[in-house]
Amino acid sequence: MIARRPRGLRQHLIVAGFLAPALILLGIFVVAPVVWALGLSVTDWRLTGPSALHPKIVGLANYGRLLASDDFRAAFFRTGVFVIFSAIIGQFVFGLASALALHRRDVRLKALWGAAILMPLVVPETVAAFAWSSMLESSDQGTVNRVIGLAGVAPVAWLQDNAMLSIIVVNIWRGIAFAMILFSAALEGVPQEVNEAATVDGASPRQLLTKITLPLIKPAIVLYMLLTTIGTVTVFGLIYFLTRGGPGGDTTTLAIFVYERAFKFFEIGLGSAASVIMLGFVLGIGLIYVRLLRAQV
């Protein structure tokens, strides 16, 4: 036992050495900003005025202002709508359908279809936002209005009259690829013998999906829900470059709300408090998904 201790200590030091760069970067770019935001959230620090030079500690006053603010509650609600319909429902349904379709052996041009679905993931968020802004142009020159014009439908001001629907559709388009990749990997782990045995026993395609395939890939589904929910709550660039949170605040999610309070109205303390609440919301959702994931493993 005495001879093994140096070897064990040496192994721990080697592991610590490999982990040190990642832990340092994590501390600098994740932990430190969170601590800094927590500190700012209890101050009245602004970018202009007397509070810019001499900020004061205000305790939980910023949190009280936010909880009493109709604008913040509305932003919270819009974030929930955006996450549910674009990520939890839209991306999940289309991503799973794409994975199931490409998993079939009789699909022709599988590589071509897979590449087409993966393209939105390759396009930078800013480029995608500007491209969709052009396609959703309210005049009859917009790509979408040209398509619906073939059916005799009048031009629609998508980003003005249907702003929330528009950003939901764009986010679904952008997130299908990630869902397809994750679900395709999970489907590869489903034993083919199980499906063949169920087919011999008379199981229909619907029963194969609901009774065998989905239960077997449930850990991957929970993991996907965890990652996509966190990512969708914090979506900023796509919404900002499409609608700027408008019109009339109709697409102001929590991420847009934090940006506006901190850098448009210069209320750094209030914006930090809003970001802390958003962080707590994301952590709460993450803990729920982690518990579900552990239950499935």
pLDDT over 70 at 7, yes or no: no
| pLDDT of 296 | 60
User: What does the alpha-carbon distance between residue 45 and residue 55 come to, in Å, rounded to a whole number?
Assistant: 5
**Mean pLDDT on 201-223:** 86
pLDDT over 70 at 297, yes or no: no
Q: CB neighbours of 155 closer than 8 A, spacing ≥ 6?
A: 138, 139, 140, 142, 145, 149
Query: Which one, of 132, 97, 135, lies nearest residue 213 by Cα?
Result: 97
User: What does the alpha-carbon distance between residue 14 and residue 272 come to, in Å, rounded to a whole number?
Assistant: 38
pLDDT over 90 at 40, yes or no: yes
**Share above pLDDT 90 across residues of the chain, in percent, rounded to a whole number:** 47
| pLDDT of 65 | 94
Considering the entire predicted model, what is its pTM?
A: 0.87
Q: What's the per-residue H, E or C state across 34-53?
A: HHHHHHHHCECCCCCCHHHH
Model confidence pLDDT, tens digit, residues 76-99: 999 999 999 999 999 999 999 988
pLDDT band, very low/low/confident/very high, at 6 (cuts 50, 70, 90): low
User: What does the alpha-carbon distance between residue 71 and residue 152 come to, in Å, rounded to a whole number?
Assistant: 39
Model confidence pLDDT, tens digit, residues 155-204: 999 999 999 999 999 999 999 999 998 998 898 888 888 878 888 888 88
Model confidence pLDDT, tens digit, residues 236-267: 999 999 999 989 899 999 999 999 999 999 99
| Residue showing tokens 């847009």 | 256
User: What does the alpha-carbon distance between residue 167 and residue 173 come to, in Å, rounded to a whole number?
Assistant: 10
| pLDDT of 1 | 44
In the numeric block, which tokens belong to residue 187? 């489907």
pLDDT over 80 at 3, yes or no: no
* Backbone φ and ψ of 43, nearest 5°: -120, 170
CA distances from 296 to 192, 217, 293 (A): 21, 10, 5
Q: CB neighbours of 284 closer than 8 A, spacing ≥ 6?
A: none
User: What does the alpha-carbon distance between residue 6 and residue 2 come to, in Å, rounded to a whole number?
Assistant: 8
In the numeric block, which tokens belong to residue 174? 């952008």
Whether residue 91 contacts residue 180, with contact meaning beta carbons closer than 8 Å, is answered with no
User: What does the alpha-carbon distance between residue 26 and residue 247 come to, in Å, rounded to a whole number?
Assistant: 37
| Cα angle 199-205-211, degrees, rounded to a multiple of 5 | 80
User: What does the alpha-carbon distance between residue 112 and residue 249 come to, in Å, rounded to a whole number?
Assistant: 40
CA distance between the termini of the chain: 35
Neighbours of 264 (CB within 10 A): 11
pLDDT band, very low/low/confident/very high, at 2 (cuts 50, 70, 90): very low
Model confidence pLDDT, tens digit, residues 115-162: 788 888 888 888 899 999 999 998 888 899 999 998 988 999 999 999
Whether residue 101 contacts residue 183, with contact meaning beta carbons closer than 8 Å, is answered with no
Domains annotated for the chain, with CATH where assigned, are 70-296 (1.10.3720.10)
Whether residue 276 contacts residue 283, with contact meaning beta carbons closer than 8 Å, is answered with no
CA atoms within 13 A on the CB side of 262: 18
